[in-house]
Structure 1
Amino acid sequence: MRLDEMADVIVVGAGPGGSATAHYLAQTGLTVIVLEKGTFPRDKICGDGLTPRAVAEIIRMGINTDGWIRNYSLVAHGGGHRIEVPWPELNSMPSYGMARARGQFDHDLAKRAVESGADLREGMTVTGPIIHERSGRVIGVEARPKGADRKAPPLRFLAPVVVDAGGVSARLATSVGREKIVNRPMGVATRTYFRSPRADEPIMESHLELWDGEPGRSNLMPGYGWVFPLGEGLVNVGLGSLSSTAKPTGIDYRRLFDTWMSNVPEEWGFTPENQVGQVRGAALPMAFNRGPHYGNGLLLVGDAGGMVSPFNGEGIAYAMQSGRLAADFIAQALARRTLGQQDRVLRQYQEELRSELGGYYTLGRIFASLIEKPEIMHLCVHYGLPRPTLMRLVMKLLSDGYDRRDGDWMDRLITALTKAVPSA
C-alpha cells in the first residue's frame, strides 16, 4: 500500500513558471514538490530569445549565466529597410537580452529550484486533481511515474495549495472546468536550428514580412520571422503567426517556413544540410486566455494561465514573473489560520496579475486584431521602419521594455495607454 505524500505546495510542471514558483516558495521554508512530466534536459518549442524583461527575472533567481550569449539590440527587416534599435537603458531591467536553448534553460531553472530546497520529481505525468468532496477544493493531484504499470494505482500528492504550471495544455486547469476564452489571441510558433556563421552575432533579428513565394511578388502572409543566435555554432530560426481569436488560421506553417528559407541569403547557411533537428511548432496562449488564475486551491502560472504577450509571443518573462508573484501570495496565505483567510489572500494573486499586465495585454489584443491583416502590417512596416524615434517607441511597446515608474516620455506614454484601456 502506497501512502499519500504531503507537502505545503504541489507544483505541476518544471518549466520557467513552475521552477520560479518552486524556487521562491522553497526559499521561504515551505515544502514544495514539483512534478515534471519529462526528464531533463528536455526540448521545448521556443524561440530561445530572452528579452531584458526575462533577463531581469533570471537575475532575481540568481541563475549563473556565465557562457550565455548576450544581445544588445533588435534588428528589424521589412519594406526594403533594415533598422537596428539598441535595447533601452531602464531602471527596472538590464539593457541587454540573452539567448539560451530551452532544453538547457529549463534545466538551469529547475536545478536552481532544487538548490533552494524544492523536491523535483521527473518523469511524473499528472493524471488528474484530487478534489475534496464537500468543498470542491483541489487538495492534491494523482500522478503516474514514467514506465509504471498502467494497472497500478496512481501516486497521490496532497497539499493545501496546488499550482498548474503545465504549459499551454493546462490539463489540470481544464479538468476542473477552466476552459480557454476563445476571443483572446492565439499564436503559433514554428522553429528549428541551423549551424550558421551568424551564431555569435550580439543581436535578436525580426523579419516583419513573410511571403508565400518570391518576396515582393507574391502574397504577404500574417506573421513575422526571427533569427536568434545562440552561440556554439547554432542559430534558432523560426516564424510566428497571430490570430486575434483561437480559431485556426488555415496557414501551412511548415510550407511558409520552407518558402522563407528558400529566399534568405545563401551565406547565412540556413540549408537542409546545416539543419539541426526537425521543424516543430506549438501554440502560444495569449492575453490571459484562461482563468480564473486562482480558485478552490488551484493557481495558474505562465502558459497555463494564457500569459504570453500578444505583442511578440514572449512567454518566459511572464511565466517567471507570475511564478514569483504566486509564490509570494501562497507564502502569505499559508501563514493565515483559516481557509477563508487563505482564499482572500490567494485571490489577490489574480488582481495583482491584472494590475501588472492587464492593460498591456488589452493593448496587445488591439495590436493583434490589426496586424493579423497583412495589408495593415505592410503599411506599418513600409512607413514606420524608416523613422528611428517611432521605432524606439514601438520596440519598447512590443518588447514590454519600459519603466512603469520614473521613465522617459516614451515610458510614460505607454504606461498611460495601459491605464486608459480596460484590464484584460
Structure 2
Amino acid sequence: MTVPTPLLPARCDVLVVGAGPAGSACAQWLARHGVDVVQVDQHPFPRDKICGDGLIPDAHHALQRLGVHDEVMALAQPVAHVGCIGPRGGRVDVPGRLAVLPRRQLDHILQRAAERAGVRFFAPWRFEAPLLDGEGDGARVAGARLKAPGGAQAHDIRARWVVLATGAAPKALQAAGVCERHTPSGIALRGYVKNEAMAPRIRALEVVWHKRLRKGYGWIFPCRDGVFNIGVGLAHSHDQAADGKGSMQDVNLRELFQAFTEVHPHAAQLMAGGTVVGELKGAPLRCSLEGARWSRPGLLVTGEAAGSTYAFTGEGIGKAMETGLLAAEALLGDRGAAAAEAAIDTLVRQAYEHSLAALKPRFDLYERANRVNNHPWLADLLIWRANKSARILRRMAGVLEETGNPGNLVSLRGIAKLFVPGL
C-alpha cells in the first residue's frame, strides 16, 4: 500500500532540511525558544545511516544539552575504552566516556525530541532548489522547493531562514549554490555482524592501523545483544582539483575490508563465527569544515554538509550536533532585532561563521594527526610509549576529551617528547 506524502505548510520561520544529528539539534533548539520550525528529510523515520555509531565525549555533552542523554544511554552500549591497535599488534586502552548506538535509533530519538519541542516534521521530501528573492549571487534564499519521491509532487515553502543539514552528498549543496568541493574528504564502509560469542572478548571501541589498510584504519565497535559495527575508513580518499572536482584514489573499499579481516584477529573471528546483518554499505565523509560555504543570505549550512567530521578519527556525531546548535544560536539573534533585514542577515551570518571559525583550528589539528593514517608505524610508537607512561596515556585520553592536541602527538616535537619528556 502506498502511503501518501503529507502536505507541507506554505511558510514557516525556519526550514531545516535534514533530520540527522545536526538538523534535529538545530530544529529542537529553535523550537524550544519559540521559533516556528518545519523540518524535512528525504527518508521516512526511522531510517538507517552509514556510520561507525560511536559516541565520544563531545557527543555526550551535546546529548545532555538536548535533554536526550538518558534516553540514548538506555539503548546504547556503554564502553569504557578505545583500544588503539598498531600494525605489530601492540595495544593500549585509552579511557573515555564512550558508548555505541546505531544511527537508526540515535537519529530517531533526536528527531522525536525535536517534534516534542514543537517542530513540524515531514518526510519523505527532498530539497530540490532554493527559492530566491532577487537575482545573482547576492539573491537572498527565501525558502525551498521540495519534491516527494518519484518527482510527482513538488511544494514550495517560504521561510525566513533555511538551514541545510543534508550530510556529505553534494547534490543539495550544489543546488543551493554553496558547494565548493564536489568530491568527499574520505570514504567509509561498514556492516553489522551478530556474534554473541565475541561479546565478552570485544568490550572496547577497537581502532586498528596497519600498512595493508592503505592510509586508512579499521574499527570494531560493540553494540548491544552481541551485535558489532565493523568497518574501514579512508581519509583523503579523493584527489582535489581547483574546480572542486577530483578523482578517487585507486582503492577498493571491499578489498580494504577484506584486508582488515585478515590482519586483525578479532575482525577475522567476528566474521568467521558471526552472521552479517544486512549488507556492507559505503558512504562519503566531509571533514575539517571544508568543501562548502557556511552561509549565504537567508541560508546556513551545518553538520556534515559543512564538513563537521574529524579527519583523523572519522568521528562526526558530536560535532554535527554542536554545529547545529551553533546555527540555532545564531538564528535566535534574528528575533526582535531592530534593524533592516539586510543588516540582520549579515549579523546572523557573521555570528554563525565566527563560531565555526573558532572551531576550525581544532579540525586542523586532527588533519595534522592524519600522519598516523599515512604512517602506521607512528601508531606503534605511540602505543609502545603509552604502555610505559601514564603521562602519554593521559595525553591520548585528552584527545578524546578535547582537552589535548592530537596534532602534537605526531609532530616532530611531539615524537621527540615521547622520549625526552622535558622538551
For the 8 Å contact 2:169–2:284, the answer to whether it is kept is: no
Residue number among 230, 237, 247 corresponding to 1:237 in the alignment: 230
SS in 2 for 1:29: coil
Q: Which amino acid aligns with 1:59?
A: Q
State the TM-score, normalizing by the size of structure 2.
Answer: 0.84
For the 8 Å contact 1:210–1:225, the answer to whether it is kept is: no
Distance 1:275 1:168, change over 3 A: same
The offset of 1:272, in angstroms, is 7.9
Structure 2 unaligned spans of 5+: 1-6, 241-246, 412-423
> 2: CA distance between counterparts of 1:27 and 1:324?
12
Of 263-272 and 52-61, deviating more is: 263-272
> 2: CA distance between counterparts of 1:258 and 1:21?
38
Per-residue CA deviation, residues 163-209 of structure 1 (Å, 9 max, x unaligned), is 00011124333223322348x98121111011123346542111121
Q: Which amino acid aligns with 2:190?
A: R
Structure-1 residue corresponding to 2:419: none
- Is structure 2 residue 67 aligned with structure 1 residue 69? no
Q: Matches of residues 308-347 of structure 1 in structure 2 within 5 Å? A: 308-337=309-338, 338-346=340-348, 347=350
Q: Which amino acid aligns with 1:155?
A: H
The offset of 1:294, in angstroms, is 1.7
Distance 1:141 1:412, change over 3 A: closer
> 2: CA distance between counterparts of 1:121 and 1:327?
20
Distance 1:411 1:206, change over 3 A: closer
Structure-2 residue corresponding to 1:176: 176
Distance 1:14 1:252, change over 3 A: same
How large is the Cα RMSD of the aligned pairs? 2.6
> 1: CA distance between counterparts of 2:407 and 2:254?
38
Q: Which amino acid aligns with 1:223?
A: G
Residue number among 354, 366, 369 corresponding to 1:367 in the alignment: 369
The offset of 1:47, in angstroms, is 0.3
State the TM-score, normalizing by the size of structure 1.
Answer: 0.83
Of 6-15 and 387-396, deviating more is: 387-396
Q: Matches of residues 154-169 of structure 1 in structure 2 within 5 Å? A: 154-169=154-169
> 2: CA distance between counterparts of 1:241 and 1:123?
31
Identical positions, percent: 28
SS in 1 for 2:369: helix
Structure-2 residue corresponding to 1:47: 52
SS in 2 for 1:117: coil
The offset of 1:274, in angstroms, is 1.0
Structure-2 residue corresponding to 1:85: 94
Structure-1 residue corresponding to 2:11: 6
The offset of 1:104, in angstroms, is 0.9
The offset of 1:233, in angstroms, is 1.9
Of 253-262 and 269-278, deviating more is: 269-278
- Is structure 2 residue 226 aligned with structure 1 residue 228? no
The offset of 1:343, in angstroms, is 1.7
The offset of 1:345, in angstroms, is 2.3
Residue number among 379, 382, 385 corresponding to 1:381 in the alignment: 379
For the 8 Å contact 2:128–2:175, the answer to whether it is kept is: no
For the 8 Å contact 2:327–2:352, the answer to whether it is kept is: yes
SS in 1 for 2:284: strand
Distance 1:3 1:371, change over 3 A: closer
> 2: CA distance between counterparts of 1:60 and 1:136?
35
For the 8 Å contact 2:178–2:294, the answer to whether it is kept is: no
Structure 1 unaligned spans of 5+: 88-95, 212-219, 404-409, 418-424
- Is structure 2 residue 333 aligned with structure 1 residue 293? no
The offset of 1:126, in angstroms, is 1.6
- Is structure 2 residue 189 aligned with structure 1 residue 190? yes
SS in 1 for 2:333: helix
Per-residue CA deviation, residues 286-329 of structure 1 (Å, 9 max, x unaligned), is 11123321221110011111111112111111110011111111
The offset of 1:268, in angstroms, is 3.6
For the 8 Å contact 2:184–2:284, the answer to whether it is kept is: no
For the 8 Å contact 2:367–2:407, the answer to whether it is kept is: no
Distance 1:243 1:3, change over 3 A: closer
Structure-1 residue corresponding to 2:255: 255
SS in 2 for 1:335: coil
For the 8 Å contact 1:185–1:242, the answer to whether it is kept is: no
